[in-house]
Structure formats: structure tokens, C-alpha cells
Amino acid sequence: MKGREFKDAMYNGLAKMLKAISNPSRLEIIEMLSQGEKSVEGIVHTTSLTFANASQHLQVLKNNNIVKSRKERQYVYYSLVNDDFLSVYQHIIRFASQEIAALERIMSRQRQDNNAQHAVSLVELEQMVEGGNVLLLDVRPSVEYELGHITGAISIPMNELLTNLKNIASDKDVIAYCRGPFCVLADEAVKLLKEKGYKVRRLDEGYPEWKIKQTMSN
Amino acid sequence: MKGREFKDAMYNGLAKMLKAISNPSRLEIIEMLSQGEKSVEGIVHTTSLTFANASQHLQVLKNNNIVKSRKERQYVYYSLVNDDFLSVYQHIIRFASQEIAALERIMSRQRQDNNAQHAVSLVELEQMVEGGNVLLLDVRPSVEYELGHITGAISIPMNELLTNLKNIASDKDVIAYCRGPFCVLADEAVKLLKEKGYKVRRLDEGYPEWKIKQTMSN
DNA sequence: CAATTATTCAAGATATATATAGAATACTTG
DNA sequence: CAAGTATTCTATATATATCTTGAATAATTG
């Protein structure tokens, strides 16, 4: 196999995989499955796709090794092939949320609607931590936490949050943070923890902003 | 803005960005630009696209905020918007090369054609390092190097290799490694360094395999 | 075994993406 | 300012993707 032939095969394969996830409906399905296995019915129910259409999208994802299925009784359950894909997906989401201007605007607007009046500033955070009963939660991927985090924060990456609720004392004021105002991880964490009955708010800034503030005051 | 409306806008925006990179020709262009700024002519020259077609692909990438352009004299130079995208791209490549069976086969076949008979095993590596004149080169992104690397290795990420040749002594036996047998970074490094006249081979395994071996022998 | 339920398949209409060819623009050089 | 070069634009043919509809399959229940 010659160089060009190899390149063509490589780029064709990669493009094929990317095409499989380049569709709004399939992205929504991926997002759903990232929270765990779902039946076709479950997917149809929350996406407003028809059965036939959802099934077609699932076939595309399956043919590209992104999801797998198993049959139990008359139901077919779909799930992501593995966590590596999830990590890629999160990187893509992160990039997109930071870089695509339109998306950025939509997201910040959405955040205003939902959470802005409740978000904690860095100054407030300092006071609250001094005051006492606060749990500061870093929901970025653990790699990023290890490279640096806000003093006193504990790390539970967003994709592990649901399975690690036991590590969050339910009597504390939880403050979730991530990479900054345009990162959605903390928003997702707030949403999930609220549903589970926690007292939780997000930091309006993120680790990068905190880091800069630290550096400047020293 | 209501929940569904938000979701739709978000998934539509993300899908649009992904579609922009879901094309073999555009992936090849991205790969080229990840090594630095290029003129349209440069791209046409190495890709075998026509001018008009290359230009169209570049417009797609530009409209999706993936590349930027600047004009100097009669030439237009394109480059990636920023390094964040590069990091996403590398994650995608990594996932694809590990997960897509077809791609995996193509890649390992390619490696056999080119390098397999020359690849260094972990056992050989140990002997060579004891023997002396060896430079062990980690070509993974620097974040990964910082989280752990083979003892004695120096870090030059693949995308910085071309601009850091001065740090590689030309009289040494260079051994490049990355994430393992299905990762292509070391292959690319071997190719580039060979062209530049270095004595270079790749490790047939990668850091993860080395790490496991270390753990087991202790 | 007929009826029901969950899912997939197949065919067609519409929309989008791609490559090609030729024209248009815009800058540079003589 | 005319000629040349680099790049982009426009139009078109072809290929691919998407959604809809209705039928087919396959397991379960009565």
C-alpha cells in the first residue's frame, strides 16, 4: 500500500465515522446514551423522532461502531460502545461550546434564563468558603483537575457524577465549577444535582479565571 | 428560550461544525494546517485537489471557524484558528485509530509495509538504552507526557517536531514512541525524521504497555 | 395460534454535499 | 495600464443524506 492510498483510506474512514455523528438527532441520541443504556422506545419518547427514523439513526451509529445493541425479550437496548468515545465527544462539545460563536451565544442566553441569577461569583465564593458549610465541586475531566484546581475543591467529573452521589454530603451548599462562563459542565451538574435534591449553584467563572486572579493577587 | 428549543439549537450547531470536518479532503487539509500555515497553492500541491475545489473546502472550514486566512501580496495563507481545535482533532484521530476496525487494519498493514521489520520491542529498547547512544523520544501531546512517560524519554509532541529538530542530536539512534501499536504519531515521527536524515525507528508498543510491564515487574 | 407490541426494512421525495468547468475578481509586475 | 498569477465565484451534474410512509419481521401475550 502506497502513501497516497494509505492516506485516502485513513481520511475516508475517519470522515465516515465523523459523518455518523454529524447529525443533530444522532448527537441527541449520543447524549442520551452517555447517561446509560436506553431502549428504542426510551429514545423515541424523549427525542420526538418517529420509531422508523430513530431506528435508522441507530443503525448508522451501530454501523460505525459508536453504539452497540442487545436484545432482551421484545426490547432492543442501545448503549455507547465504550468510554473512549465519550471522552472524544466531550472534547468536541467543549471545543464547540467555546469556539462556535453562535453556540456560545445560545448557551450563555440559556444559562441566563436558568441559572444566572443564582450563580456564585469568585468574591462570593471566598466569603462562603470562610463562612463554612460549602462543598466546592470540580466537574471537569479528572486530567484537568490534576493539572490544577481551585483550592479546597474535590473532583467528580461530570460523566461520573451520577454514580458518585454518595461522595456529596447532602447537608452542604454545593458549588459546581468547570472551565468558565461558556463551559456547560457546571450547568449540567447543577441540573442533575438539583433533580437529586441538593442545594447547588454554579460558579459564574471557572478554574482559568480563578487561576488568573490568584496569580495577580500574589 | 425553552428546553427543546435550546437543545435543537445546540445540536444543530454542533452537527454543523462536525459536518465541516466530516470530509476526507478537509481532514487532509486540517492535517496539513496542523503543521503550520499554508498557502492555497501549498494545499493544492500536496493534496491533488483542483484550485477551485480546495478553495471551496477552505471556505467551508472558514465558515465554521476552524481555519482563518490572511492575505499577503497575491497569496492567501490559511491556518487553524487555535490549538484547542488541534487537541480535539487529535482526540478524534486517536479514538478513530483505536476503535474503527477497518482503520485499524489499514493502519497496522501500513505499519507492516513500512516499519514493522524495523520496529523496536520493549526488550530491545532496554538493551539499547544500556548500550548507550540512544535518544528516546515521546511524541504524544505534552499533557500526556506530563502525566507519565518512559524513564529517560524527552518530550517533543508530534506537531512541534518539525520546529524542534535542533533538540535532537543527529548522531544518536532515535527511538520514537506514542500510545501503542495502533497510534500513528510515532509512525509520523519516523517518517518525518527519516526525511530529515536521522537514524530513527519506532517502538512497536507505547507508553501504556511500558507502564503495565513496569507495574508487573515490581 | 391469533392479536399485540417493538423494532426494522424498503421505497420514494426532498434536501444537501461534492466535484468540475469556466468566468470573475483582485493583486502584482513589467 | 496591460498582462499574468492566485484565488474565489457561479452554475451544473451527480452522489449522498434525511424523513416519511407503509409493510415486514420477530417476540410476547391472551
Residue A8: its chain B contacts at CB < 8 A? Answer: 24
pLDDT at position A108 over 80 = no
Residue B1: band (very low, low, confident or very high) from pLDDT cuts 50, 70, 90: very low
Q: Where are the alpha helices (DSSP H) in A48-196?
A: 51-63, 83-99, 101-114, 122-131, 142-146, 185-195
List the catalytic residue out of B176, B178, B183, B189: B178
The Cα B131–Cα A67 span in angstroms is 48
Give the Cα separation of B192 and B188 in Å (integer). 6
pLDDT at B102: 52
Statement: residue B111 has pLDDT above 80: no
Nucleotide in closest CA–C1' contact with A24: D18
> What confidence category does residue A153 fall into, taking pLDDT thresholds of 50, 70 and 90?
very high
Protein CA at B208 to nucleotide C1' at C4, angstroms:
53
CB contact under 8 A, A113 and B8: no
**A60-84: b (≥16 Cβ within 10 Å) or e:** bbeebbbbeeeeeeeeebbebbeee
Mean pLDDT value of segment B52-81: 90
pLDDT score of A1:
46
Search chain A and give the residue with CA nearest B86.
Answer: A95
Please determine, for residue A115, whether its predicted confidence score (pLDDT) is greater than 60: no
Instruction: Report, in ranges, which bases of strand D sit under 7 Å from a protein C-beta.
Output: 4-10, 17-23, 26-29
Higher pLDDT, A205 or A79: A79
Is B19 within 8 Å of A21 when comparing Cβ atoms? Answer: no
User: pLDDT at position B21, please?
Assistant: 93
Q: What average pLDDT does chain A have?
A: 81
- Residue-wise pLDDT for B15-61, tens only, equals 999 999 999 999 999 988 877 788 999 899 888 899 999 999 999 99
Q: Which of A137-141, A205-209, B61-65 has the lowest mean pLDDT?
A: A205-209
Q: For residues B59-71, give the mean pLDDT.
A: 90
- How many CB atoms sit inside 10 A of residue B1's CB? 13
**pLDDT over 60 (residue A29):** yes
pLDDT at B66 over 70: yes
Mean pLDDT, range B59-80, rounded to an integer: 90
Is B170:B141 a contact under the CB 8 Å cutoff? Answer: no
* A93·B17 Cβ contact <8 A: no
Nearest CB neighbour to A91, from listed B22, B31, B88? B88
Give the active site residues of A: 178
Q: Is the pLDDT at A116 greater than 60, yes or no?
A: no
Dihedral over alpha carbons B205, B84, A34, B26 (to 10 degrees):
-80
Mean pLDDT rounded to a whole number for chain B: 81
CA of B57 to C1' of C24 (A): 19
Q: What is the pLDDT of residue A138?
A: 94
The 10s digit of each residue's pLDDT in A157-203 is 888 888 889 889 888 899 999 876 656 788 888 888 988 889 999 88
Report the alpha-carbon distance of residue B140 to residue B186 in Å, rounded: 8
Minimum mean pLDDT among A145-154, A209-218, B25-34, B146-155: which range? A209-218
Given this model, what pLDDT does residue A58 score?
Answer: 95
Question: What tens digit of pLDDT does each residue of B160-194 get?
Answer: 888 889 889 888 899 999 876 656 788 888 888 98
What is the secondary structure of B78-124 as a DSSP string? EEES-HHHHHHHHHHHHHHHHH-HHHHHHHHHHHHHHTGGGPBPHHH
Comparing CA positions, the residue from A134, A160, A159, A137 lying closest to residue A150 is: A137
A56 Cβ nearer than 7 Å to chain D strand = yes
Q: Is the dihedral of CA A123, A126, A132, A134 positive or negative?
A: positive
| Percent of chain B residues topping a pLDDT of 70 | 83
Rounded to 10 deg, the angle between the B3-21 and A83-99 helix axes is 100
Tell me which chain B residues have a C-beta less than 8 angstroms from the C-beta of A95. Answer: 84-85, 87-88
